[in-house]
Structure 1
Amino acid sequence: MTTPDHFRSAALKYDRSGPVAQLVAEAAEQRKHVQTAFLLDDWPSLPLERYALGQEHSDPDDPPYCKLIEFRTPALGSMKGGSSAKHILYRHHSGVWKTAKPLRDLPIEDAWARLRGEFVAGLKAAGAGAFDRIDSLPILQYGPALVTKTLTTYFPDEFLPIYSAAHLRYFIELVGGTPAPGAATWRLNRHLRTLLRSRDEIAGWQPDEVSLFLYDTFDPRPVIPDMVQISPETPDRWEDCLADGSIRIGWDRIDDLGQYPNDEELRLALVDAYPRQAAQSVRLAESLRCFRDLQPGALVFANEGTSDLLAVGTVTDGYSYDETRSRGRHRVAVRWDVGYAQHFDTPQRGWGGQFTKVSQRLWQDIQSRRQAAKTGEEATAQAAAGVGGPTPELPLEVSRVLKALQRKGQVILQGPPGTGKTHLALNAALALNGHADAVTAAPTERAQAIRSLLDGDRVELVTFHPTYDYGDFVQAFKPVHEAGQTGGLALKKIDGLFHRICTKAAEDDEHTYLVVIDEINRGDLPRILGELVTLLDLDKRGLPVTLPLTGESFSVPPNVRIIGTMNIVDHNVAGVDRAIMRRFARVDMPPDSSVIAASIGGLALGDLLDALNTRIARALGRTCSLIGHSYLMRDGQPLATDDELSDVYFDEIIPDLEQLLSFEGNVTIGEVLGSLMDYGTNRPRRMAPSDLVGALADWCAATESGPPMSPDE
């Protein structure tokens, strides 16, 4: 929570002229346009075709309400991202009407009549100041952002142009309020509006000015934006994007991406429209969905080939679909900076496809190269002022772990093998101890930073196993040789790892102390933790308990944190006690094929990972027993040669797959490998590395284009 003085000081310094005044003027103009095009008095008789997305319209300048409110009124605040389901009712590209659950069994005109009736009732309640009545309208609950933006547009003095429940909760807590659990988005909006009306320093401000101030000064969105490489298809397409202030992609046989509520529907549409791309449909569907959901502030890296960066752009508005064009219908507004254009002496192997995530390390390198290219007085002046160079920032996944630690005190990173759980845990340890620069450093520099960290006093790394117990972690009497005595051993009290780090933390409340527990579920947690389970809760920190062995008083200091890693595929361990698990935040770490967006020969490594996991999931009937992306990486980079791939495939993937399936009595490795099996020996086929690449590429293509995983495929 910010302090009142901080809020007041920031408000008094905030410049409401210039760009802010221009945005406020644009908002007033767009609000007036909506209010004129859709008069309040016309809502009771508003026809369906004037409301819903997905219909044919002859006049692009007179769009239906949902298109106008989502795509044509950016100055009124964004509600972009996600599918068209946010509109409660819309026409799917297939011609089928999609509705929220309470309307699904009704004819479409009846469904629209019910939805329209609730809009009319909600608008009437807001006009009368009876805002609580809106909560009693059940169908509107299915479109919280749409409904809140509608209320804000028609009653701008009563609401703020903020439509994200998460952002509203953040701002309410920021100014000292407590958001009501489960409150609707419009109720949270009203709560924040009421709290801010008591602030003298923003008295007389327009709601649009208040919203801009909050986002500009206390932005709740991630510090590190999404960063994605998107390759324009052709040079003329790039010129079009540059002139238009956008990034436009192909795949024009696919309709408005907002009509697909999930990746599977989009994948099936891709297979139907682009059958030759069926093998890449899983990853492509995910990439297109991520493109659709890019939010303002995200960074887009436009490239040509694998060695040339054309520009870096900042997303200024969300996705839109332009049906008036024959090419480049899928569009995201971007402000381009061609000053970042540069040539890489070493090709970026992951830039072979159209979509790839950009690592924080590469972004820092791009910024450094741009800075180094500046010459003369400009570079000298910037260096003297201490600006212009890249600032180490944390990757999103590290920030997520740190946020969970702050909220809960301890977190478990859970996922199948090879998803980088321990790697992330150690990155979080580096960040907690002031070594954020090492998180994205070269592997040797990062390894040295980790060694130095573990040699210090504030971080302990331990691996749990079946024989690890309370005495190792908390306290025990153990036999030791007593110096100066003859005749053998004496029992001595020995403090365990957790006891020792808590003792250090209690004497140094200015720093955070951390225990990283690898393979946390391989230990018997109730036996290891004993009575300390209760003290893990943050509100129990500092409370004393009596240790049973010695009668000593002991407590867990507030500045102690725990990160555990858990392999969810391990069949050798039992489930973790629920009373313990509820005291940990849990961060899922699934396989991520986008981080291995590189190819060996004609084989895309991401497609190989997707195909492996698709076939494993089909054979087992579940998705928890998968293969992680780290199998196909070395030193943080995708595998580069067919020899490396052959070694990993035969020496790591196949043995681990056999071990995994050995616990499934009715599933054989042949059901997963199919054509890659030698059914004469009932073993995976052996072949030269160069032949393996081609065989795996064909196998990947067969994975998506045909359902069976049989020996005859």
Structure 2
Amino acid sequence: MTTLDTILIKLGLTFKEGISASELYKATSVSWRLSESKLKSGDFKYYCAVFRNQIKEVYEITGYEKDLNPENIGRIILKGRVAEDVIRSKLLNIYVGDIHTSSGNPIKYTNIEKLLELTSDNEIGKNISNQSFFHDDLFLSEALQEKIVRLLKYKKNIIFQGPPGVGKTYLAKKLLQKWFSATPEQLLFLQFHQSYSYEDFIEGYRPDENGHFKLTNGLFKDFIMKVVGNPEYVFFVLIDEINRGNLSKIFGELLMLIEHNKRGEKLQLAYSKNEFTIPDNVYFIGTMNTADRSLTALDFAFRRRFSFINIEPAFKGESLIKFKNYMDLNGISEGTTTRIVQNITEANEIIAYDYKLGKGFEIGHSYFTNFTNLGDELEWYQNIIEFELIPLIEEYFYDDEAKMAKIIEVLMNE
């Protein structure tokens, strides 16, 4: 059996074409959930930075250490130096998509001999499915993504809350695809609203084609009936705008059964009188807009059953690095990206410190991630400001014209 001696690390939006060797080293070695037992064996000699299935740099492993950041429990920081040219020259630009097919886990353990058998032929690289690329348009650090996944597995119910435009719903869908490889069949996607009811969600009487009332299953009950027959899979209920609905009215007696330690218990349903249960392999993810004044706060009984995760605009830290590289990959100039980051950050500071608003009303990054029919870059930016953000600011500061004018001025800064 061939000894594993090389680690492939797929880079997402922390990579940028033309990045220097030292910058690439920092991006590759920073902090990963590597197998410490494998590293302790001493067999691993190399690690490779991989972007879009192609080896971009090769390093010799000189050591490793545990990441002491409490948010990065279990992660390892690699230490290394650029490999000798005799190895490096043979591995650079080789395509590894056929041996590193996972779109979720960026780590792959392999060996030099197997890598040398591969080819750097561009035609083979072009034929590799896009699904094998490490797509990372989630503007969250890997550590935070891992923490969210652990919370979901533990609590079984989480809510993404944040201001408009931070991509809460998109984030939820992408996380499920990336970390659970969830298919559409494993997902029930709903949007709550003021008229949504128990009858829509669980069961109730509905008129049939003959004008008679018939007991009919709601969307969630139908979904659970499918889940019960597939205990080996995990299933997800994604509820957009969860706080727009009357949650006590919608969930009814199931408010108890969604609790993580009540899974598998049975309750009698109000209409059919049948026993009903929520299996252990069902997870709830809700999204909640913190800037909507028209909505009442969640009651404490419901809140206790969920973990709440704040999603913020991607204008600082690792999120900012990913955002900048995402803009670059989509053809937005560095000047325009800098303008966006500076102007929105300054506007958000004013919003965050306003006593009537606060951080829950900040402007999110997703206003600037639609590149359909992009055309002129300057016009694209001005249209977003004039037709999307200025109306939002006018709503925020309808009773404070001076502050409204100040933020609009900031948004239009060159």
State the TM-score, normalizing by the size of structure 2. Answer: 0.66
Which structure would you say has the larger RCO, counting Cα contacts within 8 Å and 6 or more residues apart? 2
Is 1:606 equivalent to 2:341 in the alignment? yes
Instruction: Give the alignment partner of residue 336 of structure 1, picking from 74, 82, 88.
Output: 82
Kindly tell me the number of residue pairs found equivalent between the two proteins: 337
CA shift in 2, pair 1:603/1:381, >3 Å = closer
**Where in structure 1 are there 5+ consecutive unaligned residues?**
1-12, 20-222, 248-289, 303-308, 319-331, 343-359, 368-375, 384-388, 436-452, 483-488, 678-683, 685-691, 698-713
Aligned partner of 1:543 in structure 2 is 265
Structure of greater Rg: 1
> 1:566-617 CA deviation, whole Å, 9 max, x = no partner?
1111111111122112211222210012143254646612222212211222
> AA paired with 1:658?
E
- The CA distance in 2 between the partners of 1:591 and 1:554, in whole Å, is 40
Structure 2 partner of 1:519: 241
Structure 1 counterpart of 2:353: 618
SS of residue matched to 2:413:
helix
- The 3-state SS of whatever aligns with 1:515 is strand
The answer (yes or no) to whether the contact 2:162–2:312 under 8 Å persists in 1 is: yes
Report the Cα offset of residue 639 of structure 1: 10
User: 1:661 Cα deviation (Å)?
Assistant: 3.0
How far apart in 2 are the matches of 1:227 and 1:641?
21
For the residues of structure 1 that align with 2:176 and 2:33, how far apart are their CA atoms? Answer: 27
CA contact (8 A) 1:416 1:568 kept: yes
Would you say the 8 A contact 2:163–2:360 is kept in 1?
A: yes
User: Residue type matched to 1:336 in 2?
Assistant: V
On the 8 A contact 1:295/1:315 being kept in 2, the answer is no
Q: In structure 2, what residue type is equivalent to 1:696?
A: N
How many Å apart are 1:231 and its aligned residue? Answer: 10
- Structure 2: distance between partners of 1:394 and 1:404: 23
Seen in structure 2, the aligned counterparts of structure 1 residues 230 and 463 have a Cα distance that, compared at 3 Å, is closer
Q: 2:159 aligns with which of 404, 408, 412?
A: 412
Q: Is the 8 A contact 1:297 1:315 kept in 2?
A: no
**Does 2:181 align with 1:434?**
yes
SS in structure 1 opposite 2:173? helix
Tell me what 1:641 maps to.
377
The match for 1:596 among 303, 315, 323 is: 323
2:403: which partner in 1? 671
Conserved 8 A contact 1:401-1:428: no
Give distance in 1, aligned partners of 2:165 and 2:337: 20
* Matching residue's letter, 2:347: L
Alignment CA distance shift 1:653-1:479 (3 Å): same
- The answer (yes or no) to whether the contact 1:432–1:512 under 8 Å persists in 2 is no
Is 2:198 aligned against 1:470? yes
Q: Indicate the residue corresponding to 2:170 in structure 1.
A: 423
SS where residue 696 of structure 1 aligns?
coil
Summarize the Cα distance change of 1:603–1:557 in structure 2 as closer, same or farther, 3 Å threshold.
Answer: closer
Report deviation, 1:431. 4.2
- In the aligned structure 2, how far is the partner of 1:311 from the partner of 1:228? 14
**What does 1:232-631 align with in structure 2 at a 5 Å threshold?**
294-295=30-31, 311=57, 334-336=80-82, 378-379=117-118, 396=142, 399-431=146-178, 434=181, 453-454=183-184, 456=185, 458-482=186-210, 489-593=211-315, 594=320, 595-597=322-324, 599=333, 601=335, 604=338, 605-620=340-355, 622-631=358-367
Task: Give 1:660 deviation, angstroms.
Answer: 2.8
8 A contact 2:390–2:408 mirrored in 1: no
Conserved in 2, the CA contact under 8 Å of 1:226 and 1:294? no
TM-score relative to the length of structure 1 = 0.40
SS in 2 for 1:646: helix
The alpha-carbon distance between structure 1 residues 381 and 294, as it changes in their structure 2 partners (threshold 3 A), is closer
- The 2-side partners of 1:297 and 1:607 are apart by 33
SS at match of 2:313: coil
Structure 2 unpaired stretches of 5+: 35-46, 66-77, 94-101, 109-114, 125-129, 137-141, 328-332
State whether residues 416 and 627 of structure 1, in contact with CA within 8 Å, keep that contact through their aligned partners in structure 2. Answer: yes
Given that 2:394 and 2:404 are in contact with CA atoms closer than 8 Å, whether structure 1 keeps it comes out as no
Alignment of 1:13-92 (within 5 A): none
What percentage of residue pairs aligned between the two structures are identical?
A: 24
Give the Cα separation in 1 of the matches to 2:118 and 2:395. Answer: 58
Residues 377/225 of structure 1: CA separation in 2 closer, same or farther (3 Å cut): closer
AA at the equivalent of 1:580: F
Coordinate RMSD, CA, aligned: 4.8
1:622-653 C-alpha deviation (Å, 9 max, x unpaired): 322101001111259x9971111011111111
CA shift in 2, pair 1:615/1:492, >3 Å: same
Give the 3 Å change call, closer, same or farther, for CA 554–603 of structure 1 in structure 2.
closer
Matches of 2:358 and 2:270 in 1, distance apart? 44
Spell out, residue by residue over 1:61-111, the C-alpha distance to the aligned partner (whole angstroms, 9 max, x if none): xxxxxxxxxxxxxxxxxxxxxxxxxxxxxxxxxxxxxxxxxxxxxxxxxxx
SS at match of 1:478: strand
Residues 602 and 427 (structure 1 numbering): CA distance in 2 closer, same or farther, change over 3 Å?
closer
Distance in structure 2 (CA, Å) of the matches to 1:416 and 1:577? 20
Please identify which structure carries the higher helix content. Answer: 1
SS at match of 2:362: coil
Could you say if the C-alpha distance between residues 393 and 510 of structure 1 is closer, same or farther in structure 2, counting changes exceeding 3 Å?
Answer: farther
- 1:603·1:696 contact (CA, 8 Å) conserved in 2? no
Query: How far apart, CA to CA, are the structure 2 residues paired with 1:675 and 1:568?
Result: 20
Q: Does the CA-based 8 Å contact 1:472-1:497 persist in structure 2? A: yes
- CA distance in 1: counterparts of 2:298 and 2:226, whole angstroms: 28
